[in-house]
């Protein structure tokens, strides 16, 4: 992107930022799994005490939710990747057809970033001489042509994150005795939401207490609503 981006420390910083983004996405995916599956299994537990019915609903919901998350992420990232490829191809054509105008455009970008006209021109010329497509793609589009996000990688990450998070309430409601089943699941879910809320807040440099309280509040509300929905529309298992 610039001469600075070639510094080893800057490259390390960019790699670390990418890993943190993936980790944050994984934490949020796990959080979705916890909340979604907690609402489902607690709702079913409000309707019946049959552990087989609860497990069947939980496992089916877990598989469906994980596949839905993976499919949605695949489609979303594929669309983004296609858009980035089209933008890079357009940039390649412009570099072939109007190199001087593109050089002026790159110079103007670095001027807007605070460089003097002379230095901005020199930076633009040196970067263009080395790799014009990369220089323009990174400066104009904020895209690294060699590091486009993989849709399959994003899909698998979402699938695994949702599954790991969703397993917590399913296991927590299936193992305890019927008398404490819902309370045990609720306690496990609250603990999981505290952990994901704390982790997400730390990764995003956000206030931890507020993030945790918001996260736990949403999860508890989901469980309360679905539990009483299950009670109201409950079934009797013979």
Residue 5 has pLDDT above 60, yes or no: no
Give percent of the chain with pLDDT exceeding 70: 89
**pLDDT attached to residue 234:** 73
- What mean pLDDT comes out for the span 79-91? 89
Decide if 140 is inside a domain: yes
Question: How does residue 17 score in pLDDT terms, banded at 50, 70 and 90?
Answer: low
- C-beta atoms surrounding 38 within 10 Å: 31
Contact 229, 43 (CB under 8 A): yes
Question: How does residue 59 score in pLDDT terms, banded at 50, 70 and 90?
Answer: very high
Residue 165 has pLDDT above 90, yes or no: yes
What is the number of structural domains in the chain? Answer: 1
Residue 8 has pLDDT above 80, yes or no: no
Contact 30, 162 (CB under 8 A): yes
Contact 170, 57 (CB under 8 A): no
Decide if 179 is inside a domain: yes
**pLDDT attached to residue 25:** 75
Decide if 63 is inside a domain: yes
**pLDDT attached to residue 11:** 45
Q: Which of 230, 201, 181 has its CA nearest to residue 31?
A: 201
Give percent of the chain with pLDDT exceeding 90: 43
Question: How does residue 75 score in pLDDT terms, banded at 50, 70 and 90?
Answer: very high
**pLDDT attached to residue 15:** 54
Decide if 37 is inside a domain: yes
**Higher-pLDDT residue of 233, 35:** 35
Q: What does the mean pLDDT of the chain come to?
A: 85
Structural domain harbouring 36: 4-13+23-232
**pLDDT attached to residue 164:** 95
Decide if 238 is inside a domain: no
- What mean pLDDT comes out for the span 187-208? 89
Rounded Cα distance between 75 and 57, Å, is 27
**pLDDT attached to residue 202:** 86
Decide if 209 is inside a domain: yes
Contact 176, 184 (CB under 8 A): yes
Handedness of CA 59, 176, 227, 183 (dihedral sign): negative
* Nearest-5° Cα angle at 228, 222 to 234: 130
**pLDDT attached to residue 209:** 92
pLDDT (tens digit, 9 = 90+) per residue, 90-131?
A: 988 988 899 889 888 888 988 888 889 899 889 888 888 888
Start-to-end C-alpha separation, the chain: 68
Question: How does residue 160 score in pLDDT terms, banded at 50, 70 and 90?
Answer: very high
Question: How does residue 195 score in pLDDT terms, banded at 50, 70 and 90?
Answer: very high
Decide if 8 is inside a domain: yes
Decide if 18 is inside a domain: no
């Amino acid at each position: 992107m610039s001469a600075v981006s070639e510094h080893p420390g800057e490259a390390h910083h960019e790699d670390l930022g990418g890993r943190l983004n993936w980790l944050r996405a994984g934490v949020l995916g796990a959080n979705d799994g916890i909340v979604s599956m907690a609402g489902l299994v607690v709702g079913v537990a409000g309707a019946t005490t049959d552990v087989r019915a609860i497990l069947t609903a939980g496992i089916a919901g877990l598989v469906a939710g994980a596949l839905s998350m993976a499919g949605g992420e695949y489609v979303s990232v594929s669309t983004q990747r296609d858009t980035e490829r089209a933008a890079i191809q357009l940039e390649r054509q412009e570099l072939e057809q109007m190199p001087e105008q593109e050089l002026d455009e790159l110079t103007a970008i670095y001027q807007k970033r605070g460089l003097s006209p002379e230095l901005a021109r020199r930076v633009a010329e040196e970067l263009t001489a080395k790799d014009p497509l990369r220089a323009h793609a990174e400066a104009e589009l904020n895209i690294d042509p060699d590091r486009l996000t993989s849709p399959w990688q994003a899909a698998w990450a979402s699938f695994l994150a949702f599954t790991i998070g969703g397993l917590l309430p399913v296991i927590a409601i299936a193992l305890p005795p019927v008398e404490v089943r819902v309370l045990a699941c609720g306690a496990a879910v609250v603990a999981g939401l505290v952990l994901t809320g704390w982790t997400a807040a730390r990764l995003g440099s956000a206030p931890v207490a507020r993030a945790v309280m918001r996260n736990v509040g949403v999860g508890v509300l989901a469980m309360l609503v679905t539990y009483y929905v299950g009670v109201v529309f409950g079934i009797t298992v013979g």
